Amino acid sequence: MKTVVLKFGGTSVGNIERIKKVCKIIASYKKKKRRVIVISSAMSGVTNELVKKSRLISNNFDKAEYDALVSTGEQASCALIAGRLNHIGFKSRSWMSWQLPIQTEGPYSSSRIKKIAIKELNNYLKSGGIPIITGFQGINSKFRLTTIGRSGSDATAIMIAKFIKADECIIYTDVEGVFTTDPRQYKKAKKITKIFYDEMLEMASLGSKVMQPTSVQDAKLNNINIEVKSSFISKPGTLISDSKKTCSDQIITGISSTKNDAKITIVGVKDKPGVAASIFKPLSKNLINVDMVVQNISQNGQDTDLTFTIKADDLKKTEKLIKQNKKISYKKLSFDKNVSKVSIIGVGMITSPGITYRMFQSLASKKINILVISTSEIKISVLISSNSVKKAVGVLHKEFKLD
């Protein structure tokens, strides 16, 4: 008998009617003679409300208590799903992360799943039961509840699929699958039928919110195929896989864009070994993620201008750290919050010359100025004015025949 892991996101279980619909989906797999394991997120809005309450209590809310608090949303949704399944004639029970247990390591709020005990879970499946397991959380070596980052229920589903050796892992969400770009931003975006792990990882890290980057990485490392589909309509979704047989020969698979970037330029830094490390070390210690980096050497060979991007939310902290840094000297410091990153992604560009030219020429045709460029084997990213993002996505989508 095949085993399938089904994960339902917050919008899929957003209210009682949606939970009833989710239970019909679960029942349909059970009727196909599958062993079914369900992972559920909290009902949409619940986690945000809990976070808000923690901030009203304290500006420095205890990290362990924060995880204990925000993990309660999944407990409620799992109990409601199990209760409904029992009502319509199926054997089901909710399972808290600590009851398996799902063992995690790492800091609170961003732990990673280390191991999952599956003995009792297997026994329950053999008895015909449908376990409903809390996503997004686990338990650490100190027997404290931990969470694994927002949207972490995807990671729970993938790791459950790994340890239980499931045949399928299906992520149910509020969209039909992964699209070539955000369909809310560009109406001609189309659904991607099949996509490589690496492409999905790039899209997730570059702004696509369909899946959490660490979850895609877990799937790749454990070679677990994932299907992303909608819980609201009955249509095929997107298969995320590493099999070349299942993926298309499209050169560019998708286009991602961000909304929350800031550009920092440090002008006239003394050009000497270790200066870049001196600038970025305090940022690293304060968990500020640096993305695109460009360095220009002056003609005299003594000074350099360093430009890099961060999340706009970290701008004030970054400015303060640079100004307090006694290990560097510079002539000028400038910031720009009106910037966004647009990226084209596709494994096909590895063997296709001319992609960089086509991208830059397309942007130039719409008079879009490029501020910063970064590349990898399967990605080209440019930093542009935020006002030009919609125009850029449209012209690139058309250029690479994604409409």
Residue 242 has pLDDT above 90, yes or no: no
pTM greater than the 0.85 cutoff: no
Tens of pLDDT, residues 136-178: 999 999 999 999 987 789 999 999 999 999 999 999 998 899 9
Residue 2 has pLDDT above 70, yes or no: yes
CATH class of 257-399: alpha beta
298 pLDDT above the threshold of 70? no
pLDDT in tens, 284-297: 999 899 999 988 87
Nearest CA to 200 out of 224, 184, 234 is that of: 224
CA 366, 368, 373, 374 dihedral sign is negative
Q: Per CATH, which fold does 3-174 belong to?
A: Carbamate kinase (3.40.1160)
Nearest Cα to Cα of residue 309 among 368, 375, 356, 373: 373
Q: Do the bridges between strand 112-116 and strand 102-105 make them parallel or antiparallel, or are there none, so unpaired?
A: antiparallel
pLDDT, tens digit (0-9, with 9 covering 90-100), for 252-267: 999 999 888 999 999 9
Position 188, amino acid: K
CA distance 343 to 256: 5
Q: Does residue 241 contact residue 227 with C-beta atoms inside 8 Å? A: no
Angle of CA points 44, 46, 52, to nearest 5° = 130
CA 356, distance to chain mean position in Å, is 26
* pLDDT tens track for 12-59: 999 999 999 999 999 999 999 999 999 999 999 999 999 999 999 999
The confidence score (pLDDT) of residue 261 equals 92
Q: pLDDT tens-digit profile of 349-384?
A: 888 889 999 999 999 999 999 999 999 889 999 999
Domain with CATH 3.40.1160.10 in the chain: 3-174
